Amino acid sequence: MELTVGAVLEGKVKSITNFGAFVALPENKTGMVHISEVANAYVSDIRQHLTEGQDVKVVVIGNENGKINLSIKRLEPKPQRENNARPGGFRQGDRPQRREGGFQNREGGFQNRDGGNRSARPAPVQPAAPKTADQLFEEKLKAFMTESDSKLSSIKAYSDRSKGRRR
Protein backbone atom coordinates (compact mmCIF):
# COMPACT_ATOMS: atom_id res chain seq x y z
CA MET A 1 0.00 0.00 0.00
CA GLU A 2 1.46 3.34 -1.08
CA LEU A 3 0.99 6.11 1.49
CA THR A 4 -0.13 9.18 -0.45
CA VAL A 5 -0.32 12.73 0.82
CA GLY A 6 -3.75 13.34 2.29
CA ALA A 7 -4.36 9.72 3.35
CA VAL A 8 -5.95 9.44 6.81
CA LEU A 9 -4.65 6.50 8.87
CA GLU A 10 -4.92 4.97 12.32
CA GLY A 11 -1.64 4.42 14.13
CA LYS A 12 -0.06 3.85 17.52
CA VAL A 13 2.54 6.11 19.14
CA LYS A 14 5.77 4.05 19.34
CA SER A 15 8.13 6.61 20.88
CA ILE A 16 8.26 10.27 21.82
CA THR A 17 11.18 12.68 21.45
CA ASN A 18 11.56 16.38 22.19
CA PHE A 19 10.87 17.22 18.54
CA GLY A 20 8.00 14.84 17.77
CA ALA A 21 6.47 11.39 18.01
CA PHE A 22 7.05 8.28 15.93
CA VAL A 23 3.84 6.49 14.96
CA ALA A 24 3.52 2.84 13.87
CA LEU A 25 1.39 2.63 10.73
CA PRO A 26 -0.16 -0.31 8.83
CA GLU A 27 2.19 -2.65 6.92
CA ASN A 28 5.02 -2.19 9.46
CA LYS A 29 5.69 1.39 8.37
CA THR A 30 6.62 4.23 10.69
CA GLY A 31 5.94 7.94 10.33
CA MET A 32 6.74 10.98 12.41
CA VAL A 33 4.48 13.70 13.77
CA HIS A 34 6.59 16.83 14.30
CA ILE A 35 5.85 18.73 17.51
CA SER A 36 4.42 21.60 15.42
CA GLU A 37 1.85 19.20 13.90
CA VAL A 38 0.46 17.82 17.20
CA ALA A 39 -2.08 20.51 18.10
CA ASN A 40 -3.45 23.84 16.85
CA ALA A 41 -2.10 25.55 19.99
CA TYR A 42 1.58 26.01 20.85
CA VAL A 43 3.08 22.78 22.19
CA SER A 44 6.09 23.19 24.48
CA ASP A 45 6.04 19.62 25.84
CA ILE A 46 4.73 16.95 23.49
CA ARG A 47 4.27 14.56 26.41
CA GLN A 48 1.35 16.69 27.61
CA HIS A 49 -0.51 15.76 24.40
CA LEU A 50 0.67 12.23 23.54
CA THR A 51 1.75 9.08 25.38
CA GLU A 52 3.53 5.98 24.14
CA GLY A 53 1.07 3.28 23.09
CA GLN A 54 -1.73 5.79 22.42
CA ASP A 55 -3.89 5.16 19.35
CA VAL A 56 -3.95 8.24 17.10
CA LYS A 57 -5.59 9.28 13.86
CA VAL A 58 -3.10 10.96 11.51
CA VAL A 59 -2.98 12.38 8.01
CA VAL A 60 0.02 11.96 5.69
CA ILE A 61 1.45 15.39 4.85
CA GLY A 62 4.65 14.22 3.17
CA ASN A 63 6.27 11.06 1.89
CA GLU A 64 9.75 11.65 0.50
CA ASN A 65 12.85 9.45 0.53
CA GLY A 66 11.12 6.87 2.72
CA LYS A 67 10.33 9.44 5.41
CA ILE A 68 6.64 9.70 6.17
CA ASN A 69 5.57 13.02 7.70
CA LEU A 70 2.30 13.00 9.60
CA SER A 71 -0.03 15.50 11.23
CA ILE A 72 -2.62 15.20 13.96
CA LYS A 73 -3.67 18.85 14.11
CA ARG A 74 -4.75 18.97 10.45
CA LEU A 75 -7.56 16.55 11.27
CA GLU A 76 -8.86 18.80 14.07
CA PRO A 77 -11.14 21.76 13.34
CA LYS A 78 -9.29 25.07 13.38
CA PRO A 79 -10.10 27.23 16.40
CA GLN A 80 -12.39 30.17 15.62
CA ARG A 81 -10.82 33.61 15.92
CA GLU A 82 -12.25 37.08 15.97
CA ASN A 83 -12.33 38.70 12.51
CA ASN A 84 -8.80 39.43 11.35
CA ALA A 85 -7.48 38.32 14.74
CA ARG A 86 -3.92 37.17 15.03
CA PRO A 87 -2.27 34.97 17.66
CA GLY A 88 -1.89 36.97 20.85
CA GLY A 89 -5.32 38.56 20.52
CA PHE A 90 -4.40 41.45 18.23
CA ARG A 91 -5.69 42.18 14.76
CA GLN A 92 -3.17 42.76 12.01
CA GLY A 93 -1.69 46.23 12.40
CA ASP A 94 -3.20 46.50 15.89
CA ARG A 95 -0.19 46.04 18.12
CA PRO A 96 -0.29 47.63 21.57
CA GLN A 97 1.62 50.86 21.67
CA ARG A 98 3.98 51.41 24.57
CA ARG A 99 3.25 54.53 26.56
CA GLU A 100 4.73 55.83 29.77
CA GLY A 101 3.72 53.39 32.47
CA GLY A 102 1.46 51.18 30.35
CA PHE A 103 0.14 49.99 27.01
CA GLN A 104 -2.60 51.24 24.72
CA ASN A 105 -5.51 48.84 24.43
CA ARG A 106 -7.75 48.27 21.36
CA GLU A 107 -10.40 50.72 22.49
CA GLY A 108 -7.85 53.54 22.51
CA GLY A 109 -7.54 53.73 26.29
CA PHE A 110 -4.37 52.90 28.13
CA GLN A 111 -3.71 50.07 30.50
CA ASN A 112 -1.29 50.62 33.37
CA ARG A 113 1.25 48.01 34.33
CA ASP A 114 -0.94 47.11 37.32
CA GLY A 115 -3.89 46.40 34.95
CA GLY A 116 -5.88 49.61 35.59
CA ASN A 117 -7.19 51.57 32.62
CA ARG A 118 -6.63 55.19 31.75
CA SER A 119 -9.12 56.59 29.30
CA ALA A 120 -6.97 59.35 27.81
CA ARG A 121 -6.77 58.87 24.07
CA PRO A 122 -3.91 60.62 22.30
CA ALA A 123 -4.63 62.96 19.45
CA PRO A 124 -4.07 61.30 16.07
CA VAL A 125 -0.70 62.14 14.60
CA GLN A 126 -0.80 63.47 11.06
CA PRO A 127 1.92 62.02 8.85
CA ALA A 128 4.49 64.58 7.77
CA ALA A 129 4.34 65.77 4.19
CA PRO A 130 7.03 64.24 1.99
CA LYS A 131 10.17 66.36 1.88
CA THR A 132 11.37 67.92 -1.33
CA ALA A 133 14.81 67.29 -2.76
CA ASP A 134 15.94 70.76 -1.63
CA GLN A 135 14.81 70.08 1.96
CA LEU A 136 16.63 66.73 2.00
CA PHE A 137 19.79 68.37 0.67
CA GLU A 138 19.59 71.12 3.29
CA GLU A 139 19.23 68.54 6.09
CA LYS A 140 22.21 66.55 4.82
CA LEU A 141 24.31 69.70 4.47
CA LYS A 142 23.41 70.82 8.00
CA ALA A 143 24.34 67.38 9.41
CA PHE A 144 27.65 67.45 7.51
CA MET A 145 28.50 70.94 8.76
CA THR A 146 27.70 70.00 12.37
CA GLU A 147 29.88 66.89 12.16
CA SER A 148 32.72 68.84 10.51
CA ASP A 149 32.64 71.56 13.18
CA SER A 150 32.76 68.90 15.87
CA LYS A 151 35.78 67.20 14.29
CA LEU A 152 37.61 70.49 13.76
CA SER A 153 36.99 71.46 17.39
CA SER A 154 38.47 68.20 18.66
CA ILE A 155 41.51 68.54 16.37
CA LYS A 156 42.06 72.12 17.53
CA ALA A 157 41.76 71.10 21.20
CA TYR A 158 44.30 68.31 20.69
CA SER A 159 46.63 70.70 18.85
CA ASP A 160 46.41 73.29 21.66
CA ARG A 161 47.24 70.65 24.30
CA SER A 162 50.25 69.36 22.39
CA LYS A 163 51.67 72.90 21.85
CA GLY A 164 51.92 73.45 25.61
CA ARG A 165 54.20 70.42 25.97
CA ARG A 166 56.86 71.59 23.49
CA ARG A 167 59.81 73.65 24.65
Backbone angles phi, psi at 110, to 5 degrees: -115, 145
Residues of the chain scoring pLDDT < 50 = none
20 and 35 in contact (C-beta within 8 Å)?
yes
20 and 30 in contact (C-beta within 8 Å)?
no
Q: pLDDT digit string (tens) for 63-83?
A: 888 899 999 999 988 877 655
Q: pLDDT digit string (tens) for 25-44?
A: 988 999 999 999 999 889 89
pTM beyond 0.75, yes or no: no
Q: How high is the pLDDT of residue 55?
A: 94
